Amino acid sequence: MNTSERLIQSTRELLWERGYVGTSPKAILERAGAGQGSMYHHFKGKPDLALTAIRRTAEEMRATAEGVLGGPGTPYERIEAYLRRERDVLRGCPVGRLTMDPDVIASDELRAPVDETLDWLRERIAGIVEEGKEQGGFAPDLDGEEVAAAVVATVQGGYVLARASGSPAAFDAGVRGLLSLLGSRTA
Amino acid sequence: MNTSERLIQSTRELLWERGYVGTSPKAILERAGAGQGSMYHHFKGKPDLALTAIRRTAEEMRATAEGVLGGPGTPYERIEAYLRRERDVLRGCPVGRLTMDPDVIASDELRAPVDETLDWLRERIAGIVEEGKEQGGFAPDLDGEEVAAAVVATVQGGYVLARASGSPAAFDAGVRGLLSLLGSRTA
DNA sequence: GTCTATATGACGATAGAC
DNA sequence: GTCTATCGTCATATAGAC
């Protein structure tokens, strides 16, 4: 892996672990095994490198989600598969956690990939719910966008509960709770 | 308000806006209109002041939630009131946001009030769900703890969606989505 | 391209005057 | 109790050698 790529990967890891405000160029360089000069040769500065890293992470998360949501099964099963997919729960969501970062929220450019990713996810799930309504799997009075927002929020909030308690149990409980409500609205 | 109290209030505001890592003693002092000496006279340092501030915020959040959850109405109505209660959605949750702060998670002492508050909230709501099951308002196959986790997660995750998009709409959609699922399980 | 050296200011804390 | 002065370190970036 070349230096530029190592810088991006190190930044992705640190943004996930410590957020934007908590990540210093120095820490990135140490992890990447590079000197100051390399970073400022390949990138304009910390925001530029972070933007590249965030875009990469966002792309990857989208691909992972699509792998489950676009898989086989009924609409309910695909949403269940998304909710139950294996996660490193205590690490939190590498995209969602950035919404708690003041510098990310203050910058339209840094916030954009976060917004686009979560928006895409909600739309994707909303479409699946609508599909389920047509097929008769989901109750026709459900609103796809609303249920999708609840699904994504349960995941994002599940990370919060898990990290607060230091255990993935609360995440899993929330998922089971939502599925128990959703499952009863299926045929 | 005395200096000690001003320091606590300023810290509470900054922790909400910028988190622990993003809040410097200097910023606290400027907002409180105090000098360095005052802070180190009243508190041992940044972690000590932050702990005091977090405990205060946690207490207040608990009281606010109890005001709604302990109010009148059926179990469903009280949970609905909690979910729909007025919030400054784009500011996020002053307690939940701390779970994304690496230094808070790394310190058992700083994490404790966060954990206790969210845990209390889940237990409180779980009890209301169980109450609803006994009264026949909620379907008997529901698990109180699981539904409670889904309720709290929807709120915490709703903040994430709202902040990502820069609009409270996604929070409201998630709440409506969850209520539409929960409402159909009531008598 | 990558490195080290350097600059400027911020971070978190201490010392000691008043 | 509150203030200013000072400290050693880190954050972010630039300069310029190799």
Q: What pLDDT sits at residue B185? A: 72
* A184 pLDDT more than 80: no
Report all structural domains of chain B as residue ranges with CATH numbers, in order of start.
3-183 (1.10.357.10)
Q: For A186, phi and psi rounded to 5 degrees?
A: -105, 160
pLDDT digits (tens, 9 = 90+) for A20-40: 999 999 999 999 999 999 999
Amino acid at A42: H
Q: Would you give the DSSP letter of residue B99? A: G
pLDDT tens string B95-119: 999 999 999 999 999 999 999 999 9
Q: What are the angstrom distances between the C-alpha of A81 and each of A68, A71, B11, B12?
A: 6, 9, 42, 39
Residue of chain A whose alpha carbon sits nearest to that of B101: A18
Rounded to the nearest angstrom, the minimum Cα separation between A68 and chain B is 20
Beta bridge partners of A186: A138
- Residue type (1 letter), B9: Q
Give percent of chain A with pLDDT exceeding 70.
Answer: 99
Mean pLDDT of B52-57: 98
Residue A148 near residue A129, CB atoms below 8 Å: yes
The minimal CB distance from B165 to the residues A119, A145, A182 is found for A119
A-chain residues near B176 (CB < 8 A): 143, 146, 149
Interatomic CA distance for residues B8 and B6, integer angstroms: 5
How far: B100 CA to D12 C1' (Å)?
Answer: 24
- pLDDT given at position A185: 73
Chain D: nucleotides under 7 Å from a protein CB?
1-6, 10-17
- How many pairs of residues across A and B have Cβ atoms under 8 Å apart? 210
Distance from CA of A53 to the nearest CA of B (A): 17
Substitution target in B21, B160, B180, B184 with the highest count of A β-carbons within 10 Å is B160
Residues in B 36-55 whose C-beta is less than 7 A from nucleic strand C are 36-37, 40, 45-47
pLDDT tens digits for range A125-147 = 999 999 999 999 999 999 999 99
Per-residue pLDDT of B106-154, as tens digits, reads 999 999 999 999 999 999 999 999 999 999 999 999 999 999 999 999 9
* Helix (H) / strand (E) containing B102: helix B102-106
The span from the first CA to the last CA of chain B, in angstroms, equals 51
Q: Is 70 exceeded by the pLDDT of residue B155?
A: yes
pLDDT at residue B32, rounded to an integer: 98
Residues 6+ apart with CB under 8 A from A56: A8, A12
> A119-129, pLDDT tens digit by residue?
999 999 999 99
User: pLDDT at residue B186 above 90?
Assistant: no
**Residue-wise pLDDT tens digits, B60-109:** 999 999 999 999 999 999 999 999 999 999 999 999 999 999 999 999 99
Euclidean distance between CA atoms A125 and A78, whole angstroms: 9
Backbone angles phi, psi at B138, to 5 degrees: -110, 150
Both tokens of residue B33?
A: 């209109």
**Cα gap A56→A9, rounded to integer Å:** 9
Asked if B156 and A155 come within 8 Å (Cβ–Cβ), the reply is no
> What Å distances lie between residue B165 and A117, A119, B155, B158, B159, CA to CA?
10, 8, 16, 11, 10
Residues B155, A156: Cα–Cα separation, whole Å: 10
| pLDDT score of A5 more than 80 | yes
pLDDT at A187 over 70: no
B18-40 mean pLDDT? 98
**Model confidence at A186, in pLDDT bands (50, 70, 90)?**
confident
- What does pLDDT average to over chain B? 97
Report which of A71, A78, A94 is spatially closest to residue A14, judged by C-alpha positions. Answer: A94
Q: Which residue of A has its CA nearest to B180?
A: A142
Judge: B119–A164 Cβ closer than 8 Å, yes or no: yes
- Contact residues on chain B for A150, CB-CB shorter than 8 A: 154, 173-175, 177-178, 181
Q: Which of B2, B115, B25 is nearest to B62 (CA)?
A: B115
Q: Give A126-133's long-range contacts (Cβ < 8 A, gap of 24+).
A: A128/A69, A128/A75, A128/A78, A128/A79, A129/A75, A129/A79, A131/A75, A132/A74, A132/A75, A132/A76, A132/A186
CA B26 to chain CA centroid, Å, is 26
